[in-house]
Structure 1
């Protein structure tokens, strides 16, 4: 299976890049992983809702260019479905069994995702009702995908 992590913004902190490299290495035995970063827009302090919508729209257009026809798109959104790790593992496994060979996970920028990206997603996924930095969510997502493959393969993992 091919998994693409499509995300807004670059990672600047070394501790995040180190963690991403580690999970990328670990996942290489289970799937073909690709991480694509698109540029983020600067959000002015005290931006209006309209200004934020325009920023999300610009970022969304950049993201859309990398979403291939036929890919199963899962966007991270606070209002998305939450899964226990075992169910998330079954979800990925079942998608593969039903012919989905390319999963695209989309992570928005600091003010979230454009509504067109959300509407065109096959599914919305949430890890918590809390808000997290989008850089950290990349690490959390990679860890959960890795955990899903460990569960899928009957390999030990920390509960």
Structure 2
């Protein structure tokens, strides 16, 4: 079985990074599945925990961190541009891999993943509470624009 994990980057010494890597390693080494971990913002940085040589790591090299250098308006435009590129790259890659299962850790891909027709089953796996997903609670407590964004994300 081909299994794909989607994750932003494997660069922080955090629990979610460790868990994603442990699961990918287990599925490849013990269960014998063909496993891919696709990141969008690894950008040449080292994977923080040991990744099995049986797990294929592919980085789309989009680097969403670039948007944070700008003010809200320009950052929003930049984000939509980066999301367009992300959707295109990920869609093409998933069509090429032809995975049986794609596991999303409910990052940016949640906006479009179910719309990709690559033939895979999609599974959402969250590693935080729903209110902390995308900092929704912080947005809901902010100014008018932030509250509108927070309400939209909460609804999703």
Please state which band the TM-score falls in when normalised by the shorter chain.
0.3 to 0.5
TM-score scaled by structure 2? 0.46
Is the strand fraction higher in 1 or 2? Answer: 1
Is the helix fraction higher in 1 or 2? Answer: 2
TM-score scaled by structure 1? 0.45
